[in-house]
Amino acid sequence: MLSLPPLALYIHIPWCVRKCPYCDFNSHSARQELPVQAYVAALMADLEQDLPLVWGRAVSSIFFGGGTPSLFSGSAIDQILRGVAARLTLRPALEVTLEANPGTAEFDHFSSYLDAGVNRLSLGVQSFDDGCLTRLGRIHDATQAERAFESARKAGFDNINLDLMYALPEQTCAMALSDVRRAISLAPEHISHYQMTLEPNTVFYARPPEHVPDEDAAWDMQELCQVALDEAGYHQYEVSAYARTGRQCAHNLNYWRFGDYLGIGAGAHGKLTLPAEQTILRRWKVKQPQSYLSSAATDQRIGGDEWIAPDSRPFEFMLNALRLNEGADLASFEARTGLCRDALQSAFSKAVARGWLDVTEDRFRASPLGQRFLNDLIELFLPAQA
Ligand SMILES: C[S@@+](CC[C@H](N)C(=O)[O-])C[C@H]1O[C@@H](n2cnc3c(N)ncnc32)[C@H](O)[C@@H]1O
Ligand code: SF4
């Protein structure tokens, strides 16, 4: 039987100063002044369309992602958060994260974000090597990234994440390690460490840069960096996420535990459990900022719905759960997919036989070998395979 998991809220801001050549997020260069007021109004219209799906439920975290949410002023973020609080019940002391690009962060913005209710900042640093930053087309250098971090601290942020990427063009293991060491020296609460991937519909995909480390080199970097992070007190809890004790990202943990979330803003996605109908819904929103704004302004439906069919749910659940070091338990699989644990049996047998899955009592998680072949492991749960 499906039962209700926690509910989070994702808010997408779809503009950046300049599009990075590796990035496939729904982000668009801000060529002219941003239509901030129209977008705030559209977000509220969007949220109101979603409200009937979540009556009576309280929100346990909020995440402003992008694009570059730090292009919005503190007063715009304040307006959005007030609008959200007027329409939804918010749990006390909920985590509210905002992503910021060190090249856009007007440093006086930081304290106004805090005043608005943001209590966690995520800075897109990517690397502390100016050569790497140039090759990535970033709009900031390493010094600016450090200054942005220090300003955020000075403003009063006591929960900061730094995003780093590795396997960058022309990067060696020593360079990747040096990036991680420099991040550690700033003493943030959380570090996200992503392998750079070449995504379709990006400039890097169309014209791959030279000397991108291969998969084996990337794995070596990951292992080296993981040890350095662990020694410094940043414990891996998800494939790309490392945190000091008690500082894991509540919002992202909810995704990985197959929780529910509302997604508002251009191109945002939500996932909602409807126990009365025994269904799980995915709701998507129009991607192009202009179309999004005009749908909202004319009271049209801003997106559409899809249902997660029962036979796709094992894969969808595992896609998230197997990324977590803690793995998951069979009871939460049943509660969050509405399926019986028997639905996993055939894929479990194959995964255990290959040494990819550790199963103890009613818990399971990717084994060290399974982490190395995570995509192959997760594919075992595709409908045709199971
Ligand atoms: C929405 S962005 C973060 C905020 C802001 N836009 C910035 O870039 O500074 C989220 C993060 O995704 C990561 N990312 C983006 N494209 C990626 C790719 N192709 N491979 C791996 N990580 C990527 C970057 O680390 C980036 O900071
Ligand atoms: S990485 Fe960040 S700044 Fe660069 S295009 Fe993507 S969302 Fe924008």
pLDDT (tens digit per residue) in 66-77: 999 999 999 999
Taking CA atoms, 191 is separated from 112, 181, 285, in Å, by: 24, 11, 29
Predicted confidence band at 31 (pLDDT cuts at 50, 70, 90)? Answer: confident
The two structure tokens encoding residue 236: 């891996």
Tell me, in angstroms, the distance from the centre of ligand 2 to residue 134's CA.
14
Give the residue, 359 or 31, on which the prediction is more confident.
Answer: 359
Give the SS3 label for residue 310. helix
First to last CA, the chain: 20
Tell me, in angstroms, the distance from the centre of ligand 2 to residue 17's CA.
8
- Residue 101 Cβ inside 6 Å of ligand 2? The answer reads yes
What is d(CA 323, CA 267) in angstroms, rounded to the nearest whole number?
A: 24
Per-residue pLDDT, averaged over 184-210, amounts to 97
Residue 386 has pLDDT above 70, yes or no: no
The two structure tokens encoding residue 102: 């060190």
pLDDT of residue 104: 83
- Model confidence pLDDT, tens digit, residues 371-383: 999 999 999 999 9
Per-chain mean pLDDT for the chain? 96
Q: Contact 27/16 with Cβ under 8 angstroms?
A: yes
pLDDT of residue 106: 67
pLDDT of residue 109: 86
For the chain, counts of helices (H) and of strands (E): 15, 17
State the CB neighbour count (10 A cutoff) for residue 177: 16
Tell me, in angstroms, the distance from the centre of ligand 1 to residue 241's CA.
13
What is d(CA 341, CA 329) in angstroms, rounded to the nearest whole number?
A: 10
- Model confidence pLDDT, tens digit, residues 129-182: 999 999 999 999 999 999 999 999 999 999 999 999 999 999 999 999 999 999
Span of 52-66, 95-109, 251-265, 346-360 with lowest mean pLDDT: 95-109
pLDDT of residue 385: 54
Tell me, in angstroms, the distance from the centre of ligand 2 to residue 67's CA.
6
DSSP 184: H
- Residue 67 Cβ inside 6 Å of ligand 2? The answer reads yes
pTM of the model: 0.97
pLDDT of residue 384: 76
Percent of the chain at pLDDT > 70 equals 99
- Residues 6 or more apart whose CB falls under 8 angstroms from that of 35 comprise 293
Among 15, 17, 25, 138, residue to substitute to test ligand 2 (most atoms within 8 Å of Cβ): 25
State the CB neighbour count (10 A cutoff) for residue 173: 17
What is d(CA 48, CA 42) in angstroms, rounded to the nearest whole number?
A: 10
The two structure tokens encoding residue 185: 């020296």
Phi, psi of 57 (to 5 degrees): -100, 150
DSSP 161: E
What is d(CA 175, CA 11) in angstroms, rounded to the nearest whole number?
A: 34
Per-residue pLDDT, averaged over 243-247, amounts to 98
Taking CA atoms, 288 is separated from 28, 272, 293, 361, in Å, by: 9, 23, 9, 47
CB neighbour burial string for 308-332, b if at least 16 within 10 angstroms, e if fewer:
beeeebbbbbbbbbbbbeebbbbeb
- Residue 63 Cβ inside 6 Å of ligand 1? The answer reads no
384: left (phi over 0), alpha (psi -120 to 50) or beta: alpha
Tell me, in angstroms, the distance from the centre of ligand 1 to residue 123's CA.
10
pLDDT of residue 108: 73
Percent of the chain at pLDDT > 90 equals 96
Give the SS3 label for residue 338. coil
Per-residue pLDDT, averaged over 181-189, amounts to 98
What is d(CA 315, CA 5) in angstroms, rounded to the nearest whole number?
A: 18
- Model confidence pLDDT, tens digit, residues 329-357: 999 999 999 999 999 999 999 999 999 99
- Residues 6 or more apart whose CB falls under 8 angstroms from that of 85 comprise none
- Residue 133 Cβ inside 6 Å of ligand 1? The answer reads no
- Residues 6 or more apart whose CB falls under 8 angstroms from that of 342 comprise none
Measured torsion, CA atoms of residues 11, 13, 19, 22, in degrees rounded to the nearest 10: 0
- Residue 181 Cβ inside 6 Å of ligand 2? The answer reads no
- Residue 99 Cβ inside 6 Å of ligand 1? The answer reads yes
Residue 107 has pLDDT above 80, yes or no: no
Nearest CA to ligand 1 atom 8: 124
